[in-house]
Amino acid sequence: MRRPVALTWALSAASVLVAIADVVLAVTAGRQHPAWYAWEIGSPLVWVGVGVLAVVVRPDRRVGLLMQLLGLILLLDAPAGFVIETTRTWGAVDLVVARTVLPFQVVVFAHLLLSYPEGRIHHRSSRRFIAALYGYGALVGVLGLTAAIRTVTRTPWTGSSPESGFAGGGSSTLVDAGWLAFAVVYPALMWLKVRRASPGRRKTLAYPLACGFVVIMLFALSTVLVVAGATPAGNRLSDALPYLAVVTMPGAFLLGLLRERLRYGSVADFVRAVEHTPIGRLQPALRKALRDPTLRLVFPQGDRYVDEQGEHVSVDGRAALPIGGTPPIGLVLHDPALEDEPKLLTATSAATRLALDNARLHAVVRRQLVEARASRRRIVEAAATERRRLERDLHDGAQQRILAVGIALRLLQQQLDPADQAVNEAVQDARQELVGAIAELRELARGIHPAVLTEQGLSPAVRALARRQPLPVAVDDSLPRRLPQPVETAAYFVVSEALTNVVKHAHATCARVRLALHGDVLRVEVSDDGVGGAVPENGSGLRGLADRAAAFDGTLSVTDAVPAGTLLIAELSCD
């Protein structure tokens, strides 16, 4: 990071010094309109200023330094376009330097355009082309140096006037043919650059490369005109090219860099957008955060990779970001342009790893929750099954034995002497006790699990329960069918416990029970006109009802009714 900043300061300082020298030369020896000199010196400073801004915006890119270098070269060769009258030695030196660096306008501009936006050339063919172009520029610069030395060593030398075109080096047909050859090959390299770029990168390249292509084509046209003998027209066109370039190119380069920076946003925003994303929506979130519609999130499976839907995905030839350690728990296949954003890729890896870990932990918790709910439901169903077994055993076992004893006592009473009044009364009392025991046993069996609930269903069982209450209970039943037995059992005991609470605590004169089925959810309402004020947390009975409802993914709520009383609502899933 320090090196680009140091180079930026060095190039900026050198550009300012050269601009001052150009201004002094124009003021002391210039014979053209001041506006001409202002443009010749001001336009290179635009390149320098935009280059500084590019370094500030993207200090990790060399493109800003190349723009500053181009601006410095334009300042150095500005005197090549001056009409001056002077005999001072430093004026001659300035002219020699200008003619020497003049061809590097084209070279550095071509380098800048072909390396944009990273400032690096990735493909071997393009690197070889630029290296050859620098070599050719150096050769033409030597020719220009020789010509300039011959010019300023004439006796007497009183100044100069521009004689060369945009590329410098005089008007040699061979030199112009060389520039034309480079101008023909260069568009093909630009086309290959665009063709190899990803869709996202092409958006960044579009405007700068379009403007650069126009400038290069006009340069080729001016060279053709010179080679064809239309030297004045070719020179006028070549003189206009720097102005066209400075009007269109610096802003295009800078806007492209800004667009790319804003395209990805800040790393903090990216992490916030991704880290809590569910795994099923992680790939769309990554695509949105990185602005890469081609991005794929894949996971290893054996010796291959699959996406979130389990489909095989080839990773050959794709830019891949590993997630996790070695071996990685996943890969992010992304736009190769993102490789120029190392901080963003690091944040992507960390945030995606965090999101995957969160998803894994959530999955573990959800699985444990499902297992806990299933376990609680199994416990409730086992309790209901045990209740039915006890009710059946009491009905078929103890109750039948007591009935048999009662029948035996009746037969015994028939055989006794009617005159033995004391014995007859004792037998009669025993029979009455047996009748009471059978009634209590039946009531106990109904409390454990009413037979009508098993045989006829929830609605008849609730109606029978309402008839046994010591206060009027209205039953509003709209159930269209029988429900699963565990649900009917849970709903029955919700109603039973609620009515027990009404009788014991509500001081009510009446109550109402409503049963309704909404889709796959059974809604049970028990209301009364009592004093209200019931709180589920204060009673173990209501807490037990809440646990029973939760076992069927349901809910239980107790509120004060309007205008008086209590309203209990339970919702039970019938799935």
Write down the pLDDT at residue 163: 47
- If one compares 317 and 38, the residue with the highest pLDDT of the two is 38
* Confidence category of residue 134, pLDDT binned at 50, 70, 90: very high
* Confidence category of residue 336, pLDDT binned at 50, 70, 90: confident
- Answer whether residue 330 shows pLDDT above 60: yes
Mean per-residue pLDDT for 250-262? 68
Q: In 15-164, at which residue ranges do the beta strands (DSSP E only) sit?
A: 84-85, 159-160
Write down the pLDDT at residue 169: 44
The secondary structure of 243-269 as a DSSP string is HHHHHHHHHHHHHHHHHHHHHH--HHH
Write down the pLDDT at residue 441: 56
What percent of the chain is predicted at pLDDT more than 90? 9
Write down the pLDDT at residue 360: 64
Cβ neighbours around 181 below 10 Å, total: 13
pLDDT digits (tens, 9 = 90+) for 501-514: 888 888 889 999 99
* Confidence category of residue 291, pLDDT binned at 50, 70, 90: confident
Which pair of structure tokens corresponds to residue 449? 């699990």
Write down the pLDDT at residue 167: 43
Write down the pLDDT at residue 507: 86
- How far is 421 from 499, CA to CA, in rounded Å? 46
* Mean pLDDT of all residues belonging to the chain: 76
Lowest mean pLDDT among 36-40, 288-292, 478-482: 288-292
End-to-end CA distance of the chain: 63
- How far is 211 from 202, CA to CA, in rounded Å? 14
pLDDT digits (tens, 9 = 90+) for 137-178: 999 888 888 888 877 776 555 555 544 444 444 456 778 788
Sequence-ordered list of residues with C-beta below 8 angstroms from that of 151, at least 6 positions apart, any chain: 95, 157, 160
Lowest mean pLDDT among 1-10, 57-66, 445-454: 445-454
* Confidence category of residue 211, pLDDT binned at 50, 70, 90: confident
- If one compares 387 and 490, the residue with the highest pLDDT of the two is 490
- How far is 44 from 242, CA to CA, in rounded Å? 9
pLDDT digits (tens, 9 = 90+) for 505-562: 888 899 999 999 888 889 999 999 988 777 665 555 677 777 777 777 778 888 888 7
Mean per-residue pLDDT for 13-29? 89
Lowest mean pLDDT among 144-148, 387-391, 410-414, 443-447: 443-447
Mean per-residue pLDDT for 411-429? 66
Write down the pLDDT at residue 231: 56
Which residue from 298, 208, 220 is spatially nearest to 245, judged by alpha carbons? 208
* Confidence category of residue 69, pLDDT binned at 50, 70, 90: very high
Write down the pLDDT at residue 135: 93
Mean per-residue pLDDT for 377-389? 60
- Domains of the chain as residue ranges with CATH: 2-264 (1.20.1070), 457-573 (3.30.565.10)
Lowest mean pLDDT among 295-304, 326-335, 391-400: 391-400
Which pair of structure tokens corresponds to residue 122? 């990735």
Write down the pLDDT at residue 235: 60
HEC-encoded secondary structure of 316-384: CCCEEEEECCCCCCEEEEECHHHHHCHHHHHHHHHHHHHHHHHHHHHHHHHHHHHHHHHHHHHHHHHHH
- How far is 274 from 51, CA to CA, in rounded Å? 34
> What is the greatest pairwise CA distance in the chain?
173
- Answer whether residue 433 shows pLDDT above 80: no
- If one compares 427 and 291, the residue with the highest pLDDT of the two is 291
Write down the pLDDT at residue 16: 93
Mean per-residue pLDDT for 418-447? 62
* Confidence category of residue 429, pLDDT binned at 50, 70, 90: low
Which pair of structure tokens corresponds to residue 36? 């001409």
Mean per-residue pLDDT for 35-50? 85
Which pair of structure tokens corresponds to residue 185? 């090959």
Write down the pLDDT at residue 164: 42
Write down the pLDDT at residue 473: 92
HEC-encoded secondary structure of 62-99: CHHHHHHHHHHHHHHCHHHHCCEECCCHHHHHHHHHHH
- If one compares 456 and 341, the residue with the highest pLDDT of the two is 456
